[in-house]
Structures are given as C-alpha cells and as structure tokens.
Chain A
Amino acid sequence: MATKETRAHDNAPSKPEAANQPDFLGLEPGELSELLRLMILARRFEEKTAESYQLGKIGGFLHLYVGQEAVAAGAISALREDDYVISAYREHAQALVRGVPARAIMAELYGRATGCSKGMGGSMHLFDRSVNFLGGHAIVGSHLPIAAGVGYAIRYRGGDQVCLCFFGDAAVNIGAFHEALNMAAKWELPVVWIIENNAYGMGTEISRSAAISELVGRACSYEGTASAQVDGMDVLKVRAAIDEAVRIAREEKRPSLIEAITYRFMGHSMADPSHGTYRAREEVEGWREDDPILSLSDTLIEAGLMTSEEYEEMDRAVIEEVEESAEFAEASPRPDESHIYDLAYSDEYPHGLDRRDSWR
C-alpha cells in the first residue's frame, strides 16, 4: 500500500530546512504566487475536462493530473524559454505550465481546428512548437529516446539548452528507458529525466512490477547520470531538485534522473475509478490531505506573502480562464474535412494520397 509515509524519501539536493522556516529558494513573492496559480490552473482545468468528458464533449482517453500538479509546476518553472519539454500522455498540466494557452488545449480536447494540434492529436498528443513543447506521446517509453535525440541535437549545435522529459513510474521497466538513459549518459546529453512516480502503472502498483524498490536507483547503471528522489507533493522541493539537475545539464552536459514521489487523486483515466479495485478509499483520502495546492497556499498565507482573499481571487480568476477556454472550444470550428490529406506529409507526395478513395 502506497502511503505517503512509506514512500517519501526526500534526498533532493536542496538546502536543509530550518525549523518552521519555509525555504523559498530565493524566489520572489511574485514567482511564488505564480507557481501557486499554475497549480490551481492545472487543477481547475482538469476538473473542467472531467465535466466536459462526462457531457460527451471530449472523446477518447482522458488521463487526469489531479494531485500531481507540484511536479509539472516545480519542474517546468525551472526552465528557460529556449529549453524543451516532452511528456507522455498525462500531459495537460505540463502543456499549461509551459505556456500553451488553456483555450488551445481545451479546443484540442474538444477536437477543434483551433486546438494546439489542430484537432489532430487530442488529449494524448498536445504539441506547441512556439513554446518548445514537444508533445504528448502515448506509447509508454517511446518518447525517452526522442528526448535523447533532442539532447543530441543540442550538443550537436553546441547549445546550452536542456530537454526536460516527464514519464511515469511504469516506464522504467521498458527497454526504451534503458536504451535512452544509456545513450544520454554515454554521450553526455543535456536531458533531465523525471519519473513521476504516482505509485501505479494504471492499476498495477509499481512494487509489483519493478525489481527495484527505489526507482531512482536505476540511475546507477548509467555512469555520469546525477540522481535524486524528491517529494513530488511539494512544489518547492521539486523546483529545487530540477534547478540543480538543469544546472548540471547546462554546465556539465550531464543527464539527471529525478524521481518525484507523487500521487494521482483520480483514476488512471476517466474510464477508471479513483479507488476500489486496486487501491483503497482511505489511501486516496490520506494523500488528499497532502494536497500540493493547499500546502503551498497555506505556506504563503502563513508567511504573510498572500492573503486568503488574494488566494480566493486567484482561484476565481483561474476558474474564469478555464470556463472561457471551454466556451472558446465549444464555439470553435471542427477541422475542415476537405483537408484530410494535408497533414500526412509535410513534403511533396507524388501521385497523391487520394488515389484509392474513389468510393467516397
């Protein structure tokens, strides 16, 4: 059973905490409240998608991020604009935090032409080149070698960018994980690997499938790869760990493997109950007490950096933004059917793709 007590091993390379004195990592009050706002945005956005899904406005698979917001916000906020982010298929929050507009993501989920992938990708395939968001990839592990390739291109050009690669705990068991981490270590590629360990690969607890109890331990197979395990329910601890990993990548051209211990409050997807078959209601409720959003807002209010009115106002503004994104999506046109062949190839395709569709 995955309780917070048994799972959180924070050995992130952050400064030791002074008693009762929160460590704000030298961040400005505005940066701190922005971290909070991003987490609220991710939360409210997911709540809205769940509602829209139940109303049939969103189709396909919908994997929600509720509970894990601290990982996306803490990690991505450590990046520069010219860095790269790549993720698996539970990636709405990563896209939002990276700066993909909420309305573009919502429109994508609604299957509209105004979506960030023009309605061609859906929930699992969000892309936005303008913010170097390299996508949601829906085959477990498949985007890890791709992230290595982005790192290779950075080194190839002599750049100092970083590629941040999110994946779930279950991906550590697939061959691509090993192949990608091996190449990144051998060729010293600036990639930060983040395991979002939410304890379950769908309904299978990770301890039932991985022959290692601390996933971060896998890093020892790849010499030169820095590693840390971090409390993924604490956005500042995530931020501290990624700050250091990004520095190592940028300056030392070395990859890092960061394991963020986190938890999803909802099911694997909308088709999956949040509790019952593979985990107990009590377990979920236990983790909910450690809600990363409430933790940060309480901390900020206690530290006098924010009032509870300001927090409520922030929440109201976010809800408004999310509601507006849904209205935008609803009002957006569906993709033009006459362009069905336009995006299969970017280059010339001699003799046409429509040669064999005369039955239409």
Chain B
Amino acid sequence: MAVITYREALNQALREEMVRDESVFLIGEEVAEYDGAYKVSKNLLEEFGEWRVRDAPIAELGFAGLGVGAAMVGLRPIVEFMTWNFALLAIDQVINSAAKLYQMSGGQYNVPIVFRGPGGAALMLAAQHSQSPEPWLAYVPGLKVCSPATPYDAKGLLKSAVRDNDPVCFIEGELLYNVKGEVPEDEEVLVPIGSADVKRQGGDVTIVTYGKMVHEALRAAETLSAEDEVEAEVVDLRSVRPIDVPTVLASVRRTNRAVIVEEGWPVANIGAQIVDDIQREAFDAMDAPIARVTGLDVPMPYARNLEKLVLPSAENIRAAARDVCYI
C-alpha cells in the first residue's frame, strides 16, 4: 500500500472527484496558477482548465456565495479557504445561505458544496491565524462538519464530502499536511461522514478526539500503557457533525471513563456537547466525571513558549486519563 502525505491524499481526492464528475469545480485564492497556498491543488489547473480550477479574488464572502449559487443550479463546487480564519468573512454564506436553503425552499434547492481549508493553530501564527472553527460550524443544522486526522481519512472523507448533497465544512490541519500514512492505490477510498474510527483499542478509558489531537491522544495512550498500565481506547470522531454518538457510547460503556480532547477553546465546544450526550445516554455507565482537555481559554499568543502552553499536549491528556482512572 502506498504511503503518501495528507496533502497528497487531498490532492488525489480532488483529482479523482473532478475526473469522476464534471460538475465538480474548485475555487479559492491561489488554487490554480499557484497550485494552492498549501499545494493541495497541485497540477489541477493544468489538467482541468480555468473554469474548473478558479483563482478567486481575495473576497471570501463573494466566492463562497458564488459557490452556493452554482450549487443551487446543479454544480458541485469545492470552495477552498486559504485558512478557515478567513472564512469568518464568508460565514453569512455558509450559515445563512448554504445551510438553510434546502429547508427554507421547502426542499427544492439543496446545496451540494464543500467548504474546505486548514484550521487550528500552526506555529507562531498568533491570534488571528490560530483557531479552531469546528464548534461554530457544528452548531448549525444544515451543515456537516469533518476534520480528518490521517491521509486515509482525509482522502476518504473529502471524496464523501464532494458526493454529499448538502453543504460540508471540511477542516484540515495546517500541521497535518505533511503527515504520512497508508492509502490504497487501486481502490476507491470513501469514508462515510458521521462515522468515528477507533484508532486504538483499550478497555480502561475512552479518549474521544478528532483532527490534529488524534495524534497527541495516541501518543498519550502509548505512555499510559507503558507507564500507568492503562489501556486507552482512542476514538477519532472524524466528523463533528453529525457526531458518531453510538460509537462513543459503545466505547464509554465498556471503559466507564471518558476524556475528551480538542485543540480549541473550552466553552461551548464539541467536547461540551459530547459530555451531554454521554451523561444523557450512558449515565449509568460512568465511573468518573468526564474530563475535557482543551486549549486554554485565551486568544493565541505569539511567543513559542506561550503557544505551547495554550495547546493541549499528550502529557495533558495522560494526566486527565489518570485522573478519571483514579490513579
């Protein structure tokens, strides 16, 4: 099986879907001649031409809305935001148009669109470029929200997102683009939206996470196993709307303990929702209060040491897991 980067996996997904379906096109800043700010759309302009790989002006609201209009009349746009930080300018189109048009029109106009780009902190990019948009988006009925951690999931989820008939927000990780992983070459890779994946099995504590934090959680799980004789099960949500609650519950019912990890801020985030789902549906399975490991509740500072302090680490996750295991 081929080992490729997350970036290459996304590029493959884009290319394969554009070959498969002529109504799929890519629009965004620097996606065409520049090959994408993060080179995700490398070589696509050459293969598909300017109408299908369109360099947009720096006008996020405008080209996001253009995508919505094209989707209403039958195209399947992939709107790339150079980063999700800039998508805040386009949020009216994402929420008030894309998410609501299907219901608002009495089911006449669905909006098959993908909004994608990197989210989360990278390295010393400071407050305006370092944030996790997933909770803002997951709040909105009408949207689906994915955030893959591995090349395989990135490819499989993006392809599913393109094929989905409703708007999908797809949050990649700026620091994940170079992560390598196995992706089969000769078969169709499709990961269903809304399905979590158990990235590591274990019976003592469930660590629920997604995106970049999956890798921190796996590191923490290895330490827990080696140092604390705790076998952690790592559940990678992969999609944060819909959340694969059944998989989370099944794991928690076995382990009786949960730690929820995400990179972003602690208030009203995905983990807060999962805590609710667990307490409502698996109250009797819990042996300890649910722990949450999140970024600190401040805008991201620039200085390296402060940035590290703000972001959750494997060590933080291990500490939380020990807590809920009463160690």
Contact = CB atoms under 8 A, between A and B. Distances in A.
A351 B25 CA distance: 30
B179 interface: no
Interface in A150-190: 150-156, 175-176, 178-180, 182-183, 186-187
Chain A contact residues (Cβ within 8 angstroms of B): what range?
35 or more
Interface of A: 84, 86, 115-121, 125, 127-129, 134-135, 137, 139, 142-156, 175-176, 178-180, 182-183, 186-187, 342-347, 349-351, 353, 355-356, 358
A120 B106 contact: yes
Contacts of B97: 137, 142-143, 146
Interface in B300-325: none
Interface string B91-115: 0110011000111111111100000
Which of B69, B96, B107 lies at the interface centre, i.e. has the most chain A CB atoms within 10 A of its CB?
B69
A343 B103 contact: yes
Given A345-B166, A358-B280, A148 B69 contact: yes
Which of A118, A148, A149 lies at the interface centre, i.e. has the most chain B CB atoms within 10 A of its CB?
A149
Contact of A344 (B51, B68, B103): B103
Contact of B243 (A118, A344, A351): A351
A148 B66 contact: yes
Contacts of A135: 101, 104-105, 109
B105 A117 contact: yes
A225 to B, nearest CB: 15
Contacts of B165: 346-347
B102 A153 contact: no
A142 B69 CA distance: 11
Contact of B67 (A143, A149, A355): A149
Contacts of A127: 104-106, 108-109
Nearest to B105: A127
23 contacts: A117-B105, A121-B106, A135-B105, A137-B97, A148-B65, A149-B72, A150-B73, A152-B75, A153-B73, A154-B73, A156-B70, A176-B65, A179-B57, A179-B61, A179-B63, A179-B65, A182-B57, A182-B62, A183-B56, A343-B106, A347-B166, A349-B242, A350-B192
B299 interface: no
A121 B97 CA distance: 13
Nearest to A158: B51
B32 to A, nearest CB: 13
B141 A353 contact: yes
B49 to A, nearest CB: 11
Contacts of A358: 280
B96 A142 contact: yes
A180 B57 contact: no
Contacts of B243: 351
Nearest to A181: B62
Which of A121, A127, A350 lies at the interface centre, i.e. has the most chain B CB atoms within 10 A of its CB?
A350
B289 interface: no
A233 B292 CA distance: 63
B267 interface: no
Contacts of A353: 141
A305 B46 CA distance: 60
Given A150-B70, A182-B59, 4 more contacts: A120-B104, A145-B63, A178-B62, A186-B57
A190 B65 CA distance: 16
A174 to B, nearest CB: 9
B63 A183 contact: yes
A152 B25 CA distance: 11
> What are the 4 A-B residue pairs with the smallest beta carbon separation, nearest first?
A149-B69, A145-B65, A179-B62, A118-B106
A40 B89 CA distance: 42
B74 interface: yes
Nearest to B96: A139
Given A146-B97, A345-B166, A351-B244, A121 B105 contact: yes
Nearest to A118: B106
B64 interface: yes
Nearest to A134: B72
A121 B276 CA distance: 31
A344 B102 contact: yes
Contact of B68 (A128, A139, A146, A179): A146
Contact of B65 (A118, A129, A149, A182): A149
